Amino acid sequence: MGSVTANDAIVERVFQAMVGHKPALSAVLALGEDDGQEVDRRLLADQIVRNFPWPIGVELRRLFSGGMRNAGRLRLDQLFKTIERSVQFLAFVMLAQVWKERKAGKMAFASSFTHEFTRRFEQLSLGNLTWLVRELGKAMSNSQVDWFLPELKGILNDRFYASLDLWVPERNEIGHYQVNLTTEEIERRCVAYTDRLGGLLAGLAFLCKYRLVSVREIQVRKPRFKEAVFHHRIDLLNSSDSDFKASDVHGPQFTESHAVLLLHNLKAIDEYLNLSPLVIDTHSEAIDTKEKLDIRKDIFLYTKIKGDHLMYAGTEATEKCDLRALGNYTDLLDEFRDMMLAITGPGQN
């Protein structure tokens, strides 16, 4: 067992929460029982990274890395980045379902919400994301619509919303270097923020039950005198690195191609939330023209729109990438407009 690190408390807390939702993970705890030793927390940290969806997992991989173990400005910045990405992913999962429910005519919004949504969604910030989580949570509760992820009902409450609000002013001041912090203050805040992040991730630990996938293509096979079978070529976007595991899923139902989906499980691929165009995967894009030279193979999350320009932040790409050369960019833009109309329009039946 290695020396105690700043991550130990968060690792143990989040891993135990994951075991509550996915008991099979407890097998990792038995690895040290034969010699009477506690399991190496690095193994637990790796399991946490693997079992969270990639946009959250990759930020935790950075936070758990050797260079981030000591309290300092780098760790403080990464704590903020991890909380922001976690809230962003949560907000996108919620929005994907609300979009679907609005298309089905199951929800209604006040005009004050739709105006505010349009303003805030043009450029996302942590404050806008926390607002979105709260308002969507209340709207779903008022509409008495069940969540695709039933665990959301248990965490979306005033206490949870208030815990997210605490991050916003600190993110604005500290995250954007609007205040100068002493070394002692940075160290103190690293400890406090690690504890608060652990609480949020323990609440979101149920995500380990589900699978984030990217559907590369769907092939239809129709033997004579038999029903058609749909072959989905997918990448599993849960991993400790970006070399995602490819898989084939076959069945009588089909999903949507070139999309990032959140599944209940791989055996029921027709039960999903489509997170595109909020979350997109460019790994299957062929770089076959000079206009595509700047495209990076990555998982991207929407950040803002300017005119007809959808802008994204990569999970690994650090430089800004103009994704308008993507082969399916027109489809992404059309889907985004459909989402905005569904949310802000009069509703559909």
When pLDDT is cut at 50, 70 and 90, the band that residue 349 belongs to is very low
Distances (CA, A) of 82 to 87, 271, 277: 9, 28, 21
**pTM of the entire predicted model:** 0.90
When pLDDT is cut at 50, 70 and 90, the band that residue 250 belongs to is low
Percent of the residues in the chain that have a pLDDT greater than 90, as a whole number: 56
When pLDDT is cut at 50, 70 and 90, the band that residue 324 belongs to is very high
Return the top range by mean pLDDT from 17-31, 147-161, 204-218. 147-161
Instruction: List 274's β-bridge partners, or say none.
Output: 261
List for the chain the helix, strand, coil content (%; round to 5). Answer: 50, 15, 35
Residue-level pLDDT at 2 = 46
| Least reliable range by pLDDT among 176-185, 299-308, 320-329, 332-341 | 176-185
Residue bearing the bigger pLDDT, 28 or 174: 28
Does 49 score more than 60 pLDDT? yes
- Which long-range CB contacts under 8 A does 78-84 form with residues at least 24 apart? 79/190, 79/193, 79/194, 79/197, 80/167, 80/171, 80/174, 80/175, 80/193, 82/56, 82/197, 83/126, 83/167, 83/171, 83/193, 83/196, 83/197, 83/200, 84/126, 84/129, 84/171
Mean pLDDT, residues 225-250: 73
Instruction: List 212's β-bridge partners, or say none.
Output: 262
Does 4 score more than 60 pLDDT? no
Does 37 score more than 70 pLDDT? no
